[in-house]
């Protein structure tokens, strides 16, 4: 498959999980630290898993809204919460897991699940991870306040 990129983001990391990441336009300029759960000091810093969760959730929410517009559906404001886990792959390396909790208010459960499945087929992150990372999709139709309360 050949992709003609219409936008390319560029970021550089130095120091790995205990360093810095910076985008070429310097809009993103963050210190990263190993989380305590992986033996690091933790603290008020981000890490690669948080950055991946932020990117995947934003991209998937855009895909959901693209499908909603394409199908001329009427919904409330959507939200996507990405939980990204890291652990041993039992082969001497590490692997990620992803749970996407997708909320589409003001539709029935069946409609919400259909919209989410269609979004999963077009989202670039979903297409990049398919077959490589286990992605669990959970779909709800809660109010925005109810979804926000479900940390």
Chain segment 53-105, per-residue pLDDT in tens: 999 999 999 999 999 999 999 999 999 999 999 999 999 999 999 999 999 99
- The mean pLDDT of 18-32, rounded to a whole number, is 95
Tokens at residue 108, please?
Answer: 């029935």
> Taking a C-beta distance cutoff of 8 angstroms, is the pair 22, 11 a contact?
yes
pTM score, whole prediction:
0.93
Query: In the block, which residue shows the tokens 């029935």?
Result: 108
Q: What is the CA radius of gyration of the chain?
A: 17
Nearest to 38 by CA among 84, 106, 71, 80: 84
Residue 2 has what pLDDT?
Answer: 83
Residue 137 has what pLDDT?
Answer: 98
Residue 1 has what pLDDT?
Answer: 67
pLDDT tens profile 109-141: 999 999 999 999 999 999 999 999 999 999 999
Domains of the chain plus CATH, in order, are 1-46 (2.20.25.10), 48-149 (3.30.300.20)
> Which 3 state secondary structure label does DSSP give 127?
helix
């Amino acid at each position: 498959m050949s992709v003609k990129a219409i936008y390319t983001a560029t970021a550089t990391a130095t120091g790995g999980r205990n360093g810095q990441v910076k985008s070429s336009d310097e809009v993103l300029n963050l210190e990263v630290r190993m989380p305590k759960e992986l033996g690091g000091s933790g603290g008020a810093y981000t890490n690669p898993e948080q950055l991946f969760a932020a990117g995947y959730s934003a991209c998937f929410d855009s895909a959901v809204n693209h499908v909603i517009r394409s199908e001329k559906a009427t919904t409330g404001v959507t939200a996507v919460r990405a939980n990204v886990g890291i652990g041993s792959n039992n082969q001497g390396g590490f692997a990620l897991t992803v749970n996407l909790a997708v909320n589409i208010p003001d539709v029935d459960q069946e409609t919400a699940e259909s919209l989410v499945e269609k979004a999963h087929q077009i989202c670039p992150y979903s297409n990049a991870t398919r077959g490589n990372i286990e992605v669990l999709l959970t779909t709800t139709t809660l109010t925005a306040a109810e979804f926000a309360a479900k940390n």
